[in-house]
Structure 1
Amino acid sequence: MMQSYSCPEISIIIPVRNGLPFIKECLESVFRQTSAQWEVLIGDNGSTDGTREYLASLSDCRVSIFNHESNLGISGNLNFLFKRAKAPICQILCADDYFINEASLSTILAYWQSAPSDLGFAFALNEGAHSSLMRFERKCLLDFYPVGSSCEHFFLFGNIPGNLSNVSLRTSILDSCGFFATDFRSALDYEFWARASENFGMGVLKNVLTHIRRHANTASVYLNVKGEEIAEKEKIILWLYLKLKEKYPSLLFFLKLHATLSYDSYYRQIGLKYLLKGRPAYYLFLQAHQDSEFMLSRILKWCVFIISAGGKFGLMLSAKYLHRKMEQHQEEILKSKVHAAVLKMSQAH
């Protein structure tokens, strides 16, 4: 008889919709964990592929299954599950991903046992770094980001936790931050982590703990058929840009250049590829005619797109330049604070 834990150390949050090809492997990776004091909460968002029948066959008392009568969306599903989590720490594990070894949960729990009190969420690394920008991002990552100090990295590198399955968090921060925004379907995690980092510290586990599966039916694909994530990311990047605009007024042109390279040129390139393949070029047409405060003008956007070969060249240079300038700015602020403190002490004496 499997022992029941009324007070688990960690709750594993698994959202699923038509995940039958993968969810068995996902759950088997949980059952193999050496740390046994966990609970699993699975929210099924209207599966029609046999997922519900498979889940109904499970007999492990540590697994709770919730079959939603209507599709709540990923945000709604996550919010539903987090509200029912019993443990102080949660780990998200999407149904098509899995823990890479038997000690993944033990590593996560050990990390949280020594975590600072203001740490709200932490993420493990993705497997591999597939571009020069990702490799540079890895070099720039800190072990810990104090409250309100991570907007620079979110702006330079995008959704730095990478995937929902990389993230563990204090269960309580969901209520404090207002949960995942239900009007965000594709970039919901990017929006929440950026927002949560304004009130809580962000940590980085320098380990790879989960395997993130890439396949044609992943949520990031079917939720972005018509370029839906463009409008969502625009809201996030504009919010980050306005914060950095106040913090680094001398870097406005380079902030806009970087956003144009990493956002506009990137989607414009995808749009052209779609057009050449005879597919609807939603990405191209959505981007080509809009003005955004965080980007360069329409004419300059096309110039940057052509010169950078669709954002392939120049992005690393802009990221490195901005990162260096931001670090220098922060060092100058720190020096001025130290100087002011020393001056105040000398005057007191």
Structure 2
Amino acid sequence: MDTKTKPHISIVLPVYTGMAYLQQSVESVLNQDDSDFDFEFLICDDCSKDDSYTYLSSITDTRVKLFRNEKNKGLFPTLNFLIKNASADLLHLWAQDDVMLKNCLKETIKFHQEFPEVKFSFSRLQGIDASGNLLKRPDTFKNKTLSVQDHAVSSLLYGSIAGNIANVCLVKEDCKEVGYFDESMIYVGDFKMWCVLSKETPIGMNGNILVNVRQHTGQLSRNLDASFYRLKENYGVYQCFLSTLNPELRKQLNKTIKWKIYTTYVNQYLFILKSKKFDLAKRYVEELKKYDNINSIFFKWIIIRLLRFFRLEQKFYEFRFYKKIRSLKQNN
């Protein structure tokens, strides 16, 4: 790559103690089909406790720019550092466990050329297990965009629509404009970013499978403390998405998530109690009180459990909430 020419796309990879899959992940980026474009690959080691930095230091490919934090800073501060140091207008986020298909970057660039109005896009992803075996294949579809309203409704009812960071591409200038990732967050800073980037413009949905995302027990979010921090951080994200909706639709979605989403936290609370983490359980309940009246949450949870037992849960949601949501969306 000519160092005087801005690359078409920058790949940014935060690394922390990821040597188990890191080499495969890095090589999948370096082996991209890049005959029609230039890219740079920015990697920052966040004070790994294994041989990750030793391996990264051995890479001689000139497309790689390697950094290392002086102290451990966490995912979102490290992502922000890399984004600020990237040269390209497009930024493909990357993860140390995952594998890029050879056409990933080419198809991502083509997508943003086709839909220049979007501030971020995501592609379909294929799950793989710890050994790299393919899991259930997702459906593919024609490239398209999703409106601000539909993105907010989907995110509130079903969670982060991208599902990961490794299949996401951001426009650097837009990322800068909204103030980068929220560094006060540990787990859902990406979910919040998808909200703030989609408050005024649609999001891009690349219907092709471009990434293999690994599912294994060593991932960041799989522990009891993580469940507490996700509860603590998710509330603000829900409010962010609700704020993008018109008053009637916002009111209806607020009612819906009190039944459909907030009650699911009771399951995690009970699991924490079962694990005899009583101090964590106490803090969990205190945080849950910010969502709604605690007695109301538990009452709704009991009703949902009964409905599920009689296989009436989905019919309840459809009759009580979904029909009204569809009607309000159509009338907007």
- What's the TM-score once normalised by structure 1's chain length? 0.80
> Any gaps of 5 or more consecutive residues in structure 2?
128-138
Deviation, 1:289, is: 7.2
The C-alpha deviation readout for 1:81-124, integer Å capped at 9, x for no partner, is 0111111111111111111x211222112211211x32100011
Q: Give CA-to-partner distance per residue, 1:14-48, whole Å, 9 cap, x none.
A: 01111111110101111221125211000111112
- Tell me which residue corresponds to 1:308: 304
How do 1:276-291 and structure 2 match up within 5 A?
A: 276-279=274-277, 282=280, 286-287=284-285, 290-291=288-289
| Other-structure match for 2:105 | 105
CA separation of 1:142/1:59 partners in 2, compared to 1, >3 Å: closer, same or farther? closer
The answer (yes or no) to whether the contact 2:42–2:64 under 8 Å persists in 1 is yes
Structure 1 pair 225–302 and aligned structure 2 pair: CA distance change class (3 A): same
Give distance in 2, aligned partners of 1:127 and 1:168: 17
Aligned partners of 2:224 and 2:272 also within 8 Å: no
| DSSP-derived class of the 2:209 partner | coil
Instruction: Measure how far apart 1:237 and its partner are.
Output: 1.3
- After superposition, residues 129-208 of structure 1 pair within 5 angstroms as 143-146=144-147, 150-208=151-209
Cα offset, 1:145, TM superposition: 2.7
Q: Closer, same or farther in 2 for the Cα pair 1:273/1:191, shift >3 Å?
A: same
Pair 1:98–1:168, CA change in 2 (3 A): same
Q: Between the two proteins, what is the percent identity of the paired residues?
A: 23
Residue 320 to residue 258, structure 1, CA distance change in 2 (3 Å): farther
Rounded Cα–Cα distance in structure 2 between residues aligned with 1:181 and 1:328: 34
Alignment-derived partner of residue 131 in structure 1: none
Secondary structure, counterpart of 2:222 in structure 1: helix
Letter in 2 for 1:35: D
The alpha-carbon deviation at position 225 of structure 1 amounts to 3.7
Paired with 2:41 and 2:167, the residues of 1 have a C-alpha distance of 16
Q: C-alpha distance in 2, partners of 1:95/1:287?
A: 34
Which structure 1 residue ranges, 5 or more long, are not aligned? 129-137, 334-349
Cα distance change of structure 1 residues 223 and 160 upon mapping to structure 2, 3 Å threshold: farther
Q: In structure 2, what residue type is equivalent to 1:32? A: N
Q: What displacement does 1:61 show?
A: 0.2
Deviation at 1:151, TM superposition (A): 1.9
Matched, 1:17 2:16: yes
The C-alpha deviation readout for 1:213-238, integer Å capped at 9, x for no partner, is: 12222222369446111110011113
Residues 1:289 and 1:311: Cα distance change in structure 2 (over 3 Å): farther
Indicate the residue corresponding to 1:89 in structure 2: 90
Structure 2-normalised TM-score?
0.83
Residue identity matched to 1:26: S
Q: Do 1:120 and 1:173's aligned partners in 2 also have CA atoms closer than 8 Å?
A: yes
Cα contact 1:268–1:284 (8 A) shared by 2: no
> SS of the residue aligned with 1:150?
helix
Instruction: State how many pairs are aligned.
Output: 317
The whole-number CA distance in structure 2 between the counterparts of 1:198 and 1:301 is: 29
Structure 1 residues 324, 12: closer, same or farther in 2, change over 3 A? farther
Secondary structure of the residue that 1:219 maps to in structure 2? coil
Contact 1:144 1:204 in 2 (8 A): yes
Q: Aligned letter for 2:295?
A: I
Cα deviation, residue 72, structure 1: 2.2
Q: 1:306 corresponds to which letter in structure 2?
A: I
AA partner of residue 286 (structure 1):
Y
Once the 2 structures are TM-superposed, how far is the Cα of residue 144 of structure 1 from its aligned partner? Answer: 1.1
Q: Provide closer, same or farther for how the CA distance between residues 60 and 289 of structure 1 changes in structure 2, counting only shifts above 3 A.
A: closer
Q: Secondary structure at the match of 2:263?
A: helix
268, 272, 275: which is aligned to 1:274? 272
In structure 2, what residue type is equivalent to 1:127? Q
Q: Please say if residues 267 and 284 of structure 1, whose CA atoms lie closer than 8 Å, have aligned partners that are also in contact.
A: no
Aligned 8 A contact 1:39 1:62 in 2: yes
- Separation (CA, whole Å) in 1 of partners of 2:307 and 2:192: 23
Q: For 1:179, what is the secondary structure of its paired residue?
A: coil
Larger radius of gyration: 1
Give me the whole-angstrom Cα distance separating, in 2, the residues matched to 1:187 and 1:51: 25
**Aligned letter for 1:109?**
I
